[in-house]
Structure 1
Amino acid sequence: MKQLYIKQKVFSLSEKFTVKNEQEQDVYYVEGSFMRIPKTFSILDPGGNEVALITKKVFSFLPKFFVEVDGREVLTIQKEFTFMKDRYSIESADIEVQGNWWDMDFQVMQRGAVVGEVSKEWFTWGDSYSVQVLNEELEAIIIAIVVAIDCVKADNAAASSSSS
């Protein structure tokens, strides 16, 4: 089991942040493509190698995000058409997210077994998440899921604030 922490800076225009371990050492670096189309987030290891990529589909009626790990697509996050509350679906062959992923309190499952747990840290400056990795082989996928869901939420919040 591994405990990781993601903390985003509130006023960061560069869209860069780090994932740290319990000893507060940098384990991954996340770099967003500020003001570029398509919108992407790269997750890099300490050596600068890309381990995951999150890409927002450019021309889509409803927002859609693709998550790739080690060059292969592992899941898709898609906004569903609803009239009231926003709803998103996560599609994957063997990865499933259960719980309240909109409030960032969920479990990542693979074939029915819990492989990771995510919870939002409240009362912090900026978005902070605690990520417990139970299957270290899926560590990059779990981090990518957290970053992708956070990106979906940030895009939704930006769209809501620009429409009001």
Structure 2
Amino acid sequence: MRFLVRERLLGIGDDYWIEDDRGQKAFLVDGKAMRLRDTFELKDPQGRVLIDIRQKMLALRDTMVIERDGQPLARIRRKRLSLLRNHYRVALTDGTELDVSGKILDREFAIEYDGELLAVISRRYLRVRETYGVDVVREDADPALLIAVTVCVIQLADRERGGD
């Protein structure tokens, strides 16, 4: 299943739609401006909040937290020793860990679980500027969670680079 993300250049506070491979609106990323920390909501086309995404305050390293229905779902932070490529660890509350690695700022990276590919994020085959694809490889994967992870690691990488 493929999704297309058309990023806004202005950053936090902007809302943008994520479309499926048929061009239908699948998810809305609703950036909440004027907050002390980065906050997003991932909504379905009817406006229901599926996932809340927020920056964790008072953390030693930049950390983003994903919640579903008010309950913690995952915590995302950069791995300590990742010299050549960006590596992020996604710790799910059930004890599962996902690995995100690649060129985050170039929008060329992958999300894996225990060495198995879950999603590929790429703008390689897209000609539209500031657009990238999220290809969910596994049929049983949660697309909303993988898109939320994608939003988080891009936000963390942009903050690290000084893009906020």
Secondary structure of the residue aligned to 2:159 is helix
Matched, 1:147 2:146: no
Letter in 1 for 2:109: F
> 1:45-69: per-residue Cα shift (whole Å, max 9, x none)?
0111111111101223321111223
TM-score, normalised by the number of residues in structure 1: 0.77
User: Paired residue for 2:121?
Assistant: 118
Secondary structure of the residue aligned to 2:142 is helix
User: Paired residue for 1:96?
Assistant: 98
When residues 100 and 8 of structure 1 are mapped into structure 2, their CA distance, relative to the original with a 3 A threshold, is same
Q: Which runs of 5+ in 1 are unaligned?
A: none
Which is helix-richer, 1 or 2? 1
Query: Structure 1 CA distance, aligned partners of 2:120 and 2:86?
Result: 21
Query: Structure 2 CA distance, aligned partners of 1:155 and 1:98?
Result: 17
Q: Which runs of 5+ in 2 are unaligned?
A: none
> 1:22-45: per-residue Cα shift (whole Å, max 9, x none)?
221111000111121232110000
Identity between Structure 1 and Structure 2 (%) = 17
Larger RCO (alpha carbons 8 Å, 6+ apart) = 1
Aligned length: 157
Secondary structure of the residue aligned to 1:38 is coil
Over aligned residue pairs, what C-alpha RMSD do you find? 2.9
> 1:76-102: per-residue Cα shift (whole Å, max 9, x none)?
2224668x8896531323242254153
